[in-house]
A and B are shown apart, each in its own frame.
Chain A
């Protein structure tokens, strides 16, 4: 593994909701150009971590910093939500798909290129008079959208409403939409949920290609262990908001605490297992 450096560092991240501590003193790093998986049982706090990284929640404590390939660094815990995508170039998808259902697949991908197009349209004024520079930029944006539609096998459904697409297609369209924002870090919240085996395989292939061909690091929440084990370079395991393990897929597979957490053993038994492991 080459020393690319870390793209994302999370330090002592804590998120409280009233009395609930959803994430507790979490620290981990995601390496540039790698797929890092965040796994854990239901309610472990994975989505909460994503919401902190992408600015939907402001962390109760802790630091989140992102470093661009050029060396520029951003404190995500201090940036506003939309700036995290616009300036820091972090894109995300949602656990419960959030496409613009009443807009076509193509329109969804055009909206994702908003900031770039907004500049090209001279903050709308050049666009209103139909300036050639705007036309060219729009054409380019459509080409880019078409590229991604082709990439996810949805080109012939480009003009269908996103809400009319089958579930699996919607999941992939949401990933394509996130990619259209030109991210350096792509955060995917359970992209394989509800997919069949064939679709999961296609998804794995898509994510690997995003990592390798588009120079985008991936942070992945996933319950489908076949996908996680197959494509992740590193895995972080959360349980009750605490990191319980971290390592390569092979290390995680053999980790006793992870197995205990995943077997869904009763609380007392977890304590027993923890004592056994000397914690």
Chain B
């Protein structure tokens, strides 16, 4: 998606409004819409009272839709010309750029401090705490997938599979063997990483679109296995009664064994939420720390080199297969951690939580954030998940507004919120690398 938007933006960067080009593009879009919607909207089918097929045509609606696409395409193209990609320094004076870069550097610490303070500020607001936990879960998933997609450049459309493996690992280990969360957490990560390697072996020979399709299928297969392996996973009914996490053995409950009683303070249901909040924050920060650290190690540099040019990597004696596998396994491991957290937070899991939509959402977070950028991914998770909640009042138009804002965001920032890349090592100047040079990987 970013690739296309970027290519289009590059052509748009040329000065002068090319009426012919815009018109042609709008016409093509309208044509595609016509073909697509002629069956989806133009013909309405329904089962009649005796089970026979009845249908009627809705050419008016179809015309309206195609017209909307035509006009929308022109509007988007004009907007693109006005805004352009903002990375280009053309309009910015030196002073403004400096201020902006200082402000940019302050964003991460401010965001972190604010996040740490959220449970203090909103202690009594369960809704905010719940939302915070949700956002942080997606931040963690985004950071995990960022290793695979953003650093190694491997398009993984089935990331949710590892999330599911993590969740079910914890749920099964905890309900069947009574293992505690803190023992299951690493096990869930290891199992997810193991599945990552298992999947990786056959598919990492594939490149680009093929890899994307196979990972997509893998995500679905895992879900189908979970649905159909009733004796183990409970099938569509899921697993309930998953133990809540404890603070090193001390449960967060109201009774006299609970943490509140031990600390001699009054029990409040918020306490468990606050605990979960800090738990996922710690897990997310662990992911972030590991990623930052790994980027500066040879393995991380090899991942990025792989994204830049696989052939050159092989010519430098880098085993590209194991390098890809480690990226896959590392990403999967963090997905597994997040899954275990999800299971303990919900207390109940079922296959419905692990649909392709989750994979798509996490991938959208990574792409929107600017592939490879830690801060960008965090901001994107906040925007997307927060935005979802903001638009809740819009009911059925929520998805529409959401999609439209995504499109506009990609027009404005084709390389994601934070498009440039920070070097992993430097001699004298630690300067960011423009997004135009950084590749997105192709397999």
Contacts and interface: CB of A to CB of B under 8 A. Distances in A.
B309 A98 contact: yes
Nearest to A87: B317
Contact of B320 (A82, A100, A146): A82
Q: Which 10 A-B pairs have the closest CB atoms?
A: A85-B317, A102-B438, A86-B317, A100-B308, A117-B298, A163-B437, A98-B312, A127-B297, A158-B427, A161-B433
Interface in B416-443: 421, 423-431, 433-434, 437-439
27 contacts: A56-B314, A82-B318, A82-B319, A85-B316, A99-B309, A101-B309, A101-B439, A102-B433, A102-B437, A102-B439, A107-B301, A110-B298, A111-B305, A111-B318, A114-B298, A117-B298, A121-B297, A121-B299, A124-B326, A127-B298, A142-B425, A146-B427, A158-B426, A158-B427, A159-B428, A159-B429, A164-B437
A92 interface: yes
Given A102-B437, A103-B305, A128 B314 contact: no
Nearest to A117: B298
Nearest to A125: B297
B43 interface: no
A161 to B, nearest CB: 4
Interface string B277-298: 0000000000000100110011
A232 B427 CA distance: 35
A124 B299 CA distance: 7
Contact of B315 (A98, A106, A142): A98
A118 interface: yes
Greatest chain A CB density within 10 A among B309, B318, B425 is at: B425
B77 interface: no
A272 to B, nearest CB: 42
Interface string B306-344: 001101111111111000001000000000000000000
A251 B442 CA distance: 47
A170 interface: no
Interface string A80-100: 011111100001101000111
A229 interface: no
Contacts, number: 135
A132 B375 CA distance: 29
A181 interface: yes
B329 to A, nearest CB: 12
Contact of A94 (B301, B302, B308, B315): B315
B3 to A, nearest CB: 14
Given A85-B316, A100-B304, A114-B316, 16 more contacts: A94-B315, A100-B309, A102-B433, A103-B305, A106-B427, A110-B298, A111-B305, A124-B326, A128-B297, A142-B427, A158-B428, A161-B433, A161-B437, A163-B437, A178-B316, A181-B317
Nearest to A164: B437
A118 B308 contact: no
A115 B430 CA distance: 25
A244 to B, nearest CB: 29
Nearest to B428: A159
A48 interface: no
A262 to B, nearest CB: 29
A124 B431 contact: no
Interface in A52-93: 54, 56, 81-86, 91-92
Given A85-B315, A98-B309, A98-B311, A159 B301 contact: no
Contacts of B317: 82-86, 114-115, 181
Contacts of A84: 317
Contacts of B431: 159-160
Interface residues of A, number: 44
A26 interface: no
Contacts of A86: 317, 319
Interface string A157-184: 0111101100000000000011001000
Contacts of A124: 294, 297-299, 326
Contacts of A101: 308-309, 437-439
A117 B301 CA distance: 11
A106 B304 contact: no
Contacts of B316: 85, 91, 111-112, 114, 177-178, 181
Contacts of B308: 100-103
Greatest chain B CB density within 10 A among A56, A102, A155, A177 is at: A102
A216 interface: no
B439 A81 contact: no
B293 A103 contact: no
Greatest chain A CB density within 10 A among B302, B320, B427 is at: B427
Contacts of B429: 159
Contacts of A177: 316
Nearest to B307: A102
A54 to B, nearest CB: 7
Contacts of B313: 82, 111
Interface string A113-148: 111011001001001100000000000001000100
Nearest to B289: A128
Given A102-B438, A159-B429, A159-B430, A128 B305 contact: no
Greatest chain B CB density within 10 A among A99, A128, A155 is at: A128
A24 interface: no
B98 to A, nearest CB: 18
A72 B316 CA distance: 21
A106 B438 CA distance: 15
A159 B427 contact: yes
Contacts of A85: 314-317
B315 A91 contact: yes
A85 B316 CA distance: 6
B328 to A, nearest CB: 15
B423 A107 contact: yes
A121 to B, nearest CB: 5
Nearest to B326: A124
A54 B313 CA distance: 13
A117 B297 CA distance: 8
Given A101-B308, A159-B430, A177-B316, A110 B425 contact: yes
A56 B313 CA distance: 12
Nearest to A129: B293
